[in-house]
Amino acid sequence: MITEDDTPPYDRPLLSKKPTTDVKDARMRSDDYYKENFIDVITNVKVTGVDLSHRKINLGSGDSMQFSRLVLALGGLPKKLSCPGADLKNVYTLRYISNANKIAAESTGKNVVCIGGSFIGMELASALSKTAASVTVVCTTDEPLPQLGPDIGCVIRNRFEEKGVHVLVKSNVEKLEGTDDGVTGVVLTSGEKLPADMVVVGIGIMPPTEWLKGTRIELDDRGFIIVDDRFRTSADFVYAIGDTVTAPLPLWDIENINIQHFQVAQTHGE
């Protein structure tokens, strides 16, 4: 098992709900589990390429590794803002436990703006509201959590407002303002300016599959890995599971669909 993380697998969905989580409390398995099941875990290493003809992967360290079967469980990279000011200091995305811990530590007593009204943005807003000076959520949709429908989204928005979290709907970000020290405000296309000492971006994911382009592994037009009902890619000795695949959903007679949810990823693994 090879991971870019500095620790073996942990419960990522927990990070947006409890960003103060310590890595030892989030670990999925103990070190003994991996030893007892003869699983070698290689941390802090990025896979940069694959040679399918020779069944070999290339690592960021400069080394390579042979395989007979390859399973790609890549997860998703958080999308970044593309507006002016997106690269200012104190603008964060959430993927690693180190990101979550830093967001929690830096948000105390600060004005926080969460951009994105889906699960990441809303869960972080709820968690940070306990210690931040203020929390505002900016979402483009009619209500937050559009996956749950507008009626439920409206109820959730009202609950958040009652708890002191301001939720702006049908709103788009024009730019971020700031100084060399970091972000100071979020300007919406409506002209409204929100004070912000910290911005957390949760606007979806993109598949980290650039290194697969040009190989026999087929990707869709968005870069997601196309698999069959047994999670085989177009190279039949390479499998892919989780957030970065588009797979058949026979129950609903859907040929291929990408579902970004941890329970779906767990089911793929099982």
Query: pLDDT category, 261, cuts 50, 70, 90?
Result: confident
CA distances from 55 to 68, 77, 126, 217, 242 (A): 7, 25, 46, 13, 22
SS3 string, 204-215, reads CEECCCHHHCCC
232 assigned to some structural domain? yes
CA distance 79 to 260: 14
In this structure, the answer to whether residues 84 and 165 fall within a common structural domain is: yes
DSSP code per residue over 64-107: EEE-SSEEE----EEP---STTTTSTTEEE--SHHHHHHHHHHH
Query: pLDDT tens digit string along 67-100?
Result: 999 999 999 999 999 999 999 999 999 999 999 9
In this structure, the answer to whether residues 101 and 133 fall within a common structural domain is: yes
241 assigned to some structural domain? yes
SS3 string, 195-264, reads ECCEEEECCCEECCCHHHCCCCCCECCCCCEECCCCCECCCCCEEECCCCEEEEEHHHCEEEECCCCHHH
> Which structural domain range is residue 218 located in?
46-76+207-269
In this structure, the answer to whether residues 112 and 150 fall within a common structural domain is: yes
In this structure, the answer to whether residues 58 and 168 fall within a common structural domain is: no
Q: Quote the number of domains for the chain.
A: 2
Query: pLDDT tens digit string along 6-34?
Result: 999 999 999 999 999 999 999 999 999 99
In this structure, the answer to whether residues 154 and 224 fall within a common structural domain is: no
12 assigned to some structural domain? no
Query: pLDDT tens digit string along 178-236?
Result: 999 999 999 999 999 999 999 999 999 999 999 999 999 999 999 999 999 999 999 99
Last residue of a domain, one of 175, 205, 235: 205
Residue 252 pLDDT more than 90? no
Q: What predicted TM-score, i.e. pTM, was given to this entire model?
A: 0.91
In this structure, the answer to whether residues 155 and 93 fall within a common structural domain is: yes
Q: What angle do CA 50, 55, 59 make, to 5 degrees?
A: 40
Q: 146-154 — which CB contacts under 8 Å span 24+ positions?
A: 146/117, 146/118, 147/118
Here the CATH number for the domain that contains residue 148 is 3.50.50.60
CA distance 121 to 153: 13
Query: pLDDT category, 249, cuts 50, 70, 90?
Result: confident
